[in-house]
Chains A and B, each alone.
Chain A
Amino acid sequence: MAKAVTDQARISSSLLPRRFRVQQAWPESATITSLALSPLEGPVPSFRAGQFNMLYAFGVGEAAISICGDPDSGDLLHTIQNVGPVSGALCDLMAGDVVGVRGPFGSGWPLADQSGRDLLFVAGGLGLAPLRPAILQALAMRDTFRSVTLLVGARSPTDLLYPAQLADWAAGDGLELAITVDRGPPGWTGMVGVVTNQLARALQGRDPASVSACVCGPEIMMRHTCLTLCDAGVPAAAQWISLERNMKCAIGTCGHCQFGADFVCRDGPVFRWDKVAARLRIAEI
Chain B
Amino acid sequence: MWPRLGEGGRRRERDGSLSPLEDVMADGYILRDPRALVGALLEAGWRVIAPLERDGSLTPEVVSAPDELPCGLVDMQAPGAYRLQQQDSGRWFDAVVGAQGWKRWLHPAERRLWTARRDADGFSIAPAAEVWPPTVFFGVRPCDLAAIARQAEVFRQAGDPAYGERLAATRIVAVNCTRVAETCFCASMGTGPGVSAVVDVALTELEQGLLVDCGTANGAALLRGMDLATAAPADIAAARAAVEAAARDQIRAMPPDIADRLQRASESPRWQEIAARCLHCANCTLVCPTCFCTDVTDRSDLAGDHAERWQRWDSCFSPEFSYLHGGAVRRSVAARYRQWITHKLSTWHDQFGTSGCTGCGRCITWCPVGIDLVAEARAFAEEEA
Indicate which residue in B128, B130, B266, B298 contacts A285 across the interface (CB closer than 8 Å): B266
Task: Report if A5 contacts B (CB, 8 A).
Answer: yes
| A13-B127, A19-B124 known; A261-B347 Cβ under 8 A | yes
Report whether A260 and B347 are in contact in the complex, using a CB–CB cutoff of 8 Å: yes
Indicate which residue in B169, B334, B343 contacts A9 across the interface (CB closer than 8 Å): B169
Residues of A within 8 A of B166 (CB): 9, 11
Residues of B within 8 A of A29 (CB): none
| A59-B304, A251-B160, A255-B314 known; A13-B122 Cβ under 8 A | no
Residues in B301-315 with C-beta less than 8 Å from chain A: 304, 307, 309, 311, 314
Q: Which residue of A lies closest to B116 (CB)?
A: A58
Query: Secondary structure at chain A's binding surface: helix, strand, loop or mixed?
Result: loop
Report whether B45 and A4 are in contact in the complex, using a CB–CB cutoff of 8 Å: yes
Q: Which residue of B lies closest to A267 (CB)?
A: B351
Residues in A1-36 with C-beta less than 8 Å from chain B: 1-17, 19, 21
Q: Which residue of A lies closest to B46 (CB)?
A: A5
Residues of B within 8 A of A283 (CB): 335
Residues of A within 8 A of B46 (CB): 2, 5
Report whether A15 and B44 are in contact in the complex, using a CB–CB cutoff of 8 Å: no
Task: Report if A252 contacts B (CB, 8 A).
Answer: yes
Residues of B within 8 A of A98 (CB): 121-123
Q: How far is the CB of B29 from chain A (nearest CB, A)?
A: 15
Q: How far is the CB of A269 from chain B (nearest CB, A)?
A: 12
Task: Report if A61 contacts B (CB, 8 A).
Answer: yes
| A15-B113, A98-B123 known; A62-B296 Cβ under 8 A | yes
Residues in B187-214 with C-beta less than 8 Å from chain A: none
Task: Report if A248 contacts B (CB, 8 A).
Answer: yes
Indicate which residue in A14, A19, A256 contacts B113 across the interface (CB closer than 8 Å): A14
Report whether B322 and A245 are in contact in the complex, using a CB–CB cutoff of 8 Å: yes
Report whether B45 and A5 are in contact in the complex, using a CB–CB cutoff of 8 Å: yes
Indicate which residue in B127, B226, B295 contacts A248 across the interface (CB closer than 8 Å): B295
Q: How far is the CB of A213 from chain B (nearest CB, A)?
A: 24
Q: How far is the CB of B367 from chain A (nearest CB, A)?
A: 20
In addition to A3-B222, A98-B121, A251-B160, 8 A-B residue pairs with Cβ atoms within 8 Å of each other are A2-B41, A2-B46, A5-B134, A9-B132, A15-B309, A59-B116, A255-B292, A256-B322
